[in-house]
Amino acid sequence: METQEQVLTMPRIGDKAPSFKAVTTQGDINFPQDYAGKWVILFSHPADFTPVCTSEFMTFASMQGEFEALNTQLVGLSVDGLYSHIAWLRTIKEKIEYKGMKNVEVTFPLIEDITMNVAKTYGMLQPGESTTKAVRAVFFIDPKGIIRTIVYYPLSLGRNFDELKRIIIGLQTADAYSVALPADWRPGDDVIVPTAGSCGVAKERMESTDADQTCYDWFFCTRKLPKEKVDALRVK
């Protein structure tokens, strides 16, 4: 007998993003190949014409320029069909005014997935939550097509968009400067230097007089990384 674990695949951090072809509100896509060289946020939502999803789409769309400045493409998905997607996005633009956002046009692709193929491949269907609707999954995929972060929210809780943006900035900063980032890191905060890999380096670190570096102990050292250096990673 097949167990639930055998039926449901769950890509993991570090895996290559599974490829698929799909129909979207912006035409056909070949994922992730069409976005090679960009960061991608692939996210699922439970259903069109629902309130939490509407608030999220308006927020994603209103932040699209900020994500583009981070070389990041948004790609949405739900298990609804194309015409439902089109009708919902038209309603959002024409009728919904919410928290100062109005006339919001969603120009990033929204995948139709009535077969649930993509949702199943990406582990977006989590039967304990719903067997018919995708959870609010967010996959952060790097320019080489590797999954770098995965965040899941349940049906009842809208995503935190500050955090989604912080994740992209954090991943790009960690890559560009070969550092790690401490709890609640924000651009301008100190960053963590790689842990000393030898007794010699551990000693050097503890005896260092470098004013830009702080060592709490031999294995936990931070250094300054000015906000301008993080902002410099933006493409525009």
Note the residues at the interface with ligand BEZ (CB under 6 A).
46-47, 50-53, 133, 155-156
Of residues 50 and 213, the one with the C-beta less far from ligand BEZ: 50
* Residue located via tokens 């069109």: 48
Pairing between strand 72-78 and 110-112? parallel
Q: Are 12 and 143 in contact (CB under 8 A)?
A: no
Is the separation of the CB atoms in 41 and 164 below 8 Å?
yes
Distances (CA, A) of 60 to 57, 109, 159, 234: 5, 12, 10, 18
Closest distance of CB 130 from ligand BEZ, Å? 7
The least CB distance from residue 42 to ligand BEZ, in Å, is: 18
Smallest distance, Å, CB 92 to ligand BEZ? 13
| 199 is an active site residue | no
Q: What are phi and psi of 192, to 5 degrees?
A: -95, 130
Based on CB atoms, which residue is closest to ligand BEZ, 153 or 185?
153
CB 153 within 8 A of CB 143: no
Q: Whose Cβ is closer to ligand BEZ: residue 51's or residue 194's?
A: 51
Q: Which of 53, 199, 215, 221 is catalytic?
A: 53
Active-site residues, by number, are: 53
